[in-house]
Amino acid sequence: KQHGNQSLPPGPTPIPVLGTPKYMDLSASTKNFPKLSQKYGSVFTIWKMSEPVIVLCGYETVKEALVNHAEQFSERPIIPVMDLSNEGYGLDGRRWRPIRRFTMTSLRNFGMGKMTMEKRVLTESKYLIQAVSETGGKPFNPRMFLAMAVGNIISSVLFGEHFDYQDKQLEELLSSTSRHLCNIVPVLLRFSVIRQKVVKEKLYLQNFVMKYIKHHKETLKPESPRDFIDYYLLKIKEVEHEMDPDFCETSLLVIVIGLLIAGTDTTASTLKFSLVLMAHYPDVQAKVQQEIDKTTNSLRPPEIMDKPQLPYTNAVIHEIQRVLDLAPTTLFHAVTEDIKFRGYTIPKGTTVIPFLSSVLFDPSQWETPEVFNPGHFLDEEGQFRTRLAFMPFSAGKRVCLGENLARMELFLLFSALLQRFTFTLPPGTERQNSKYLNLNKTEIIASGQICAVPRSLSK
Ligand code: HEM
């Protein structure tokens, strides 16, 4: 197809002005994109009105773009909802590079010191276990508890706050962040998002976070930063002599809100899906429990240092993330300059969609792509093996900034819960196969119920 005098990848013919609206409906992308890819190949063009949008399919293609041409594919198109009030500072704004670098380093620093990230997660897992045990084995939807646990972890990291599970503030915060994320991650599209509402939620989040920034400024001790806001405030002081510093209170506010939105519902939904899946696959669950019992001797919750002794558990968590495919079209990318890719020309600024589903289900990469199979991540000796096509966090310069935290949360919370409880389907509910589970993810995450039957820990 000709766009100007350059050759774009092929694709369905756009309707003048409207483009290809059918294919811009991302909630249908898992259905539509494979068909388009079959017809036009692993790189094709769809149209958002009169703007071309390039879709990348399959492990080889996505890797070639995001990893081999990482720099060129590292830009973001402007997402109006996100751009509303961030004044160019957000992680998708013009100034993302230094802010992203700083944020990653500070999150990594929480791996050290008194209150390590692991300790924060382990502390929270106790509250979660308590809340789950109070359901007394009766059917319940664990979604809210999981969101509260994960919300508490990120708020402890960002501003040192732990909320009680009954606290209305936490509930408000969670529903606010979750409605925001729905705009971005189609599998989480449960609520109809009205623009006005988004603006209101944003204001709520702004006021909420501003209160903490104010309090932190008043109580900051430069020699002992307590959390992310403290680190950031110190950085602001360090660069305040600069003419137009990237680090200022506006960018702090934008980043903290961004982290709250990106860091809560993603992990909580993955955990929710994990528990329901375990109820549908009792053999897998029993094997995980056996491995955990053997390693921890039934007494203490699993820790990160146990991971090498828990290859099966680790494989199960990876396989859950693969089949969940939480962000099928990830966040949009854009190219930094005119580039040649696979014989085509993609003009500077063009939106690019790396279609992660097509990587996580790529038949050339997975033995049984459509089937839940922890064996994908195990070698012949039953040891854990990484797979290059495991990209639920995407890849390259824009790979999920919270990947380490998310993986730590998934491992610690999932294994702590399975150590204490056996998750079963409510009486009268039938077990389902991979196909059903694949087709009903949104429903399962939103409203699926399970029972948590306490296990008797021997010794
Ligand atoms: C299971 C949990 C999670 C999944 C599956 C996930 C997945 C993703 C994906 C696919 C992207 C887009 C990458 C791209 O553009 O190619 C992303 C971006 C991002 N994630 Fe996550 N994420 C998770 C948890 C978290 C957590 C816990 C945090 C916060 C601490 C977080 C913070 C972010 C941020 C800030 C970005 C934007 C990065 C940038 O634009 O430079 N995520 N995530």
What mean pLDDT, rounded, does the chain reach? 89
Whether the per-residue pLDDT at 83 is higher than 70: the answer is no
- Cβ < 6 Å from ligand 1: which residues? 91-92, 96, 100, 154, 258-259, 262-263, 266-267, 270, 326-327, 330-331, 392-394, 398-402, 405-406
Closest by Cα among 256, 261, 246 to 93: 246
How far CA 99 is from CA of 209, 443, 447, in Å, comes to 18, 36, 37
Residue 19 Rama label (left phi>0; alpha psi -120 to 50; beta): left
- Which atom of ligand 1 lies nearest, measured to the CA of 269? 1
**Kind and range of the H or E run holding 48:** strand 43-48
> Closest ligand 1 atom, CA of 398?
41
Q: Where are the domains of the chain?
A: 93-324+366-454
The rounded Å distance from CA 183 to ligand 1 centre is 14
* 451 annotated as a binding-site residue: no
> pTM above the 0.95 mark?
no
From 3-12, 59-68, 108-117, 146-155, the region with the lowest mean pLDDT: 108-117
CA dihedral (144, 149, 150, 152) in degrees, to 10, reads 120
Query: Buried (b) or exposed (e) across 262-284, using 16+ Cβ within 10 A?
Result: bbbbbbbbbbbbbbbbbbbbeeb
CA of 383 to the centre of ligand 1 (A): 28
**Atom of ligand 1 at shortest range from CA of 107:** 30
Selection from 251, 237, 253, 225 nearest residue 157 by Cα: 225
Checking DSSP bridges between strand 51-56 and strand 351-354, what pairing results, if any? parallel
- Please tell me the residue having the least CA distance from ligand 1 atom 6: 393
The verdict on ipTM greater than 0.85 is yes
Instruction: Calculate how far, in angstroms, residue 92's C-alpha sits from the geometric centre of ligand 1.
Output: 12
Q: Residue 118: enclosing H or E segment and its boundaries?
A: helix 117-133
**Which of 400, 401, 410, 445 most suits a substitution to test ligand 1, by most atoms within 8 Å of the C-beta?**
400
- pLDDT at 85 exceeding the cut of 90: no
Q: What is the pLDDT of residue 82?
A: 54
C-beta neighbour count of 206 within 10 angstroms: 15
Q: How far is the CA of 218 from the centre of ligand 1 (A)?
A: 31
Q: How far is the CA of 267 from the centre of ligand 1 (A)?
A: 10
Atom of ligand 1 nearest to the CA of 395: 16
Q: State the architecture of 93-324+366-454 in CATH terms.
A: Orthogonal Bundle (1.10)
* Residue pLDDT, tens place only, 321-359: 999 999 999 888 999 999 999 999 999 999 999 999 999
- Per the model's pLDDT, the better-predicted residue between 316 and 86 turns out to be 316
User: Each residue of 408-445: pLDDT tens digit?
Assistant: 999 999 999 999 999 999 999 999 988 888 888 988 99
**pLDDT score of 162:** 87
Identify any residues that bridge with 56 across adjacent strands, giving them in sequence order.
43, 354
Q: Whose CA is nearest to atom 21 of ligand 1?
A: 400
Atom 20 (ligand 1): residue with closest C-alpha? 400
| Cα 15 to middle of ligand 1, angstroms | 34
pLDDT higher than 60, residue 128? yes
